[in-house]
A = this chain, B = another copy of it.
Amino acid sequence: MSNNKRQIKLGAFLMETGHHIAAWRHPDAHAGGGLDFAHYAEVAKIAERAKFDTIFFADSVSVRDTNLASLSRTARADHFEPLTLLSALSVVTQNIGLIATVSTTFNEPYNLARKFASLDHLSGGRSGWNLVTSSTESEALNFSFEKHPDHALRYERAREFYDVVAGLWDSWEDDAFLRDKESGVYFDPEKLHVLNHRGKHFQVRGPLNVARSPQGWPVVVQAGASDAGRELAAQTAEVIFVAHQTLEEAQTFYRDIKGRLPKYGRHADHLKIMPGIFPVVGRTQEEARRKFDALQDLIHPSVGLSLLSTMSGEVDLSSYPVDGPLPELPETNGGKSRQRLLFDLARRENLTIRDLYLRIAGARGHQQVVGTPEGIADQLQQWFEEEGADGFNIMSPWLPGGLSDFAELVVPELQRRGLFRTEYEGHTLRENLGLPRPQNRHVQQQRQEAAG
């Protein structure tokens, strides 16, 4: 393995008992895994043994209880808060990245900057922040909003939020702390910088009360696919998790995002695009299909319909014939990119509502691959080599079995092809992803002034 050859990056997207909506009913699934640390520790170790770049947690800050009859048949109503969970997982892992989703709409930038810096110190430089603006009304109602702030306002706040967080992460120069017992000087006051941010949404003086962290800045991840989301990602993201159904879609997105980088002075390699993939792995095609069908059979119809409603922006589809086509969707305030995705998928394949919910129940808009290790590796290789992806976010159908299938069967195949590492390149998430460590802005400024 050479460090110079471009290789696939892999993230393990971890969702309670698995990504499939009926995963918790799988015979091998630990149904209570969503609140069992031992379950997550096992899963994280499987991913680390397979040399995954990172584990990744999505998040939401509400129970989506609009359809209780359906919700009560899923394992989606309760789970660990991701930052507390990842802090604990940092202790039982050594190399793998730890990415948590936290919303800019329901948090304060000082608190967020501090927690991710703290996790970066705890883990020796393995933390990452998935910046989301949150898209559901039910979340807003837990945070004293009368209604969910609209898409444009959320992105405006997110942009400023990011600036504050990144500014706080540069509060201290890397070599600010001398800790010289003899002289009694703990830090060099010249290397401490006050932010004094005064913007439309935030006034934050700083400095952050955590030393600059091993990665300088924790890795910044994003998932928004709307135009506002893409632009924010082009400016600020280092990893994008995204959902695509076809290589063509993926290539279009890839070209679009990479094309936006130069105007921000950014290099194409410094933003890794990692679409989600939902792999069902079998030693034969038949075995893979059997595994998948067994999961699909566990979906209660009310769960399928409700999932579809949620993903189309809280639209109630129960009045439409389940074996008829997806109706025209009204414009909502929810996640715009998900709506478009569903629309495109149903139109392209002429799906009924039932077809559609069965389709998304597993992958939920992401690419679903049911096949052999070779077949799955072929597809990943194609997407990777034909510039649809820099890597993939593996959404295991059920846990831990679905992930260990991928780790034990697909990863070795990728390694044989020279497409994936056999040892970690470095100690930090940045080193493994091949991302530069940001230079502190104040040091940069000083050098520029000295040079000028």
> Which of A61-69, A224-232, A380-388 is found at the contact surface with chain B?
A61-69
- Docked-complex contact B185 and A72, CB < 8 angstroms: yes
In the bound assembly, the distance between CA atoms of A77 and B179 in angstroms comes to 12
CB within 8 Å of B: which A1-56 residues = 22, 24-25, 27, 31-32, 35, 37
In the bound assembly, the distance between CA atoms of A37 and B77 in angstroms comes to 32
Say yes or no: is A330 at the interface (Cβ < 8 Å to chain B): no
Mark each residue of chain A from 177 to 205: 1 if its CB lies under 8 Å from any CB of chain B, else 0: 10101001111110010100000011111
For A144, the chain B residues whose CB sits under 8 A away are 108, 201-204
Say yes or no: is A422 at the interface (Cβ < 8 Å to chain B): no
- Docked-complex contact A78 and B143, CB < 8 angstroms: no
- Docked-complex contact A65 and B207, CB < 8 angstroms: yes
- With contacts A83-B83, A179-B32, A184-B300 taken as known, whether A61 is within 8 angstroms of B143 at the C-beta atoms is no
Interface centre among A32, A78, A146 (most CB of B within 10 A): A78
- Docked-complex contact B204 and A25, CB < 8 angstroms: no
- With contacts A80-B118, A87-B88, A181-B25 taken as known, whether A61 is within 8 angstroms of B111 at the C-beta atoms is yes
In the bound assembly, the distance between CA atoms of A62 and B298 in angstroms comes to 51
Of B85, B185, B201, the residue contacting A87 (CB under 8 A) is B85
A contacts with B: majority SS: loop
Tally of this chain's copies: 2
Closest CB in chain B relative to A24 CB, distance in Å: 6
Of B85, B203, B211, the residue contacting A118 (CB under 8 A) is B85
- Docked-complex contact A35 and B186, CB < 8 angstroms: no
| Closest residue on chain B to residue A172 by CB atoms | B78
- Docked-complex contact A35 and B185, CB < 8 angstroms: no
CB within 8 Å of B: which A154-193 residues = 171-172, 177, 179, 181, 184-189, 192
Say yes or no: is A121 at the interface (Cβ < 8 Å to chain B): yes
- Docked-complex contact A63 and B192, CB < 8 angstroms: yes
| Closest residue on chain B to residue A191 by CB atoms | B72
Closest CB in chain B relative to A102 CB, distance in Å: 9
- Docked-complex contact B110 and A184, CB < 8 angstroms: no
Say yes or no: is A60 at the interface (Cβ < 8 Å to chain B): yes
Say yes or no: is A106 at the interface (Cβ < 8 Å to chain B): yes
For A84, the chain B residues whose CB sits under 8 A away are 83-84, 87, 115, 118-119, 122
In the bound assembly, the distance between CA atoms of A300 and B208 in angstroms comes to 25
Closest CB in chain B relative to A358 CB, distance in Å: 16
Closest CB in chain B relative to A58 CB, distance in Å: 12
For A72, the chain B residues whose CB sits under 8 A away are 185-189, 192
For A107, the chain B residues whose CB sits under 8 A away are 108, 111
Of B69, B143, B204, B206, the residue contacting A108 (CB under 8 A) is B143
- With contacts A192-B63, A206-B142 taken as known, whether A31 is within 8 angstroms of B80 at the C-beta atoms is no
In the bound assembly, the distance between CA atoms of A172 and B73 in angstroms comes to 16
List 8 extra interface pairs beyond A35-B211, A77-B192, A91-B91, CB under 8 A.
A24-B181, A35-B210, A61-B209, A63-B207, A78-B177, A91-B92, A141-B203, A141-B204
* 8 A-B pairs whose Cβ atoms sit less than 8 Å apart in the complex: A35-B121, A61-B114, A75-B186, A77-B187, A84-B115, A141-B204, A142-B204, A143-B204
Q: Which 10 A-B pairs have the closest CB atoms?
A: A87-B87, A81-B118, A31-B179, A141-B205, A91-B91, A84-B87, A68-B189, A110-B142, A84-B118, A78-B211
Interface residues of A (CB under 8 A from B): 22, 24-25, 27, 31-32, 35, 37, 60-63, 65, 68-69, 71-75, 77-81, 83-85, 87-88, 90-92, 106-108, 110-111, 114-115, 117-119, 121-122, 138, 141-146, 171-172, 177, 179, 181, 184-189, 192, 194, 201-211, 298, 300
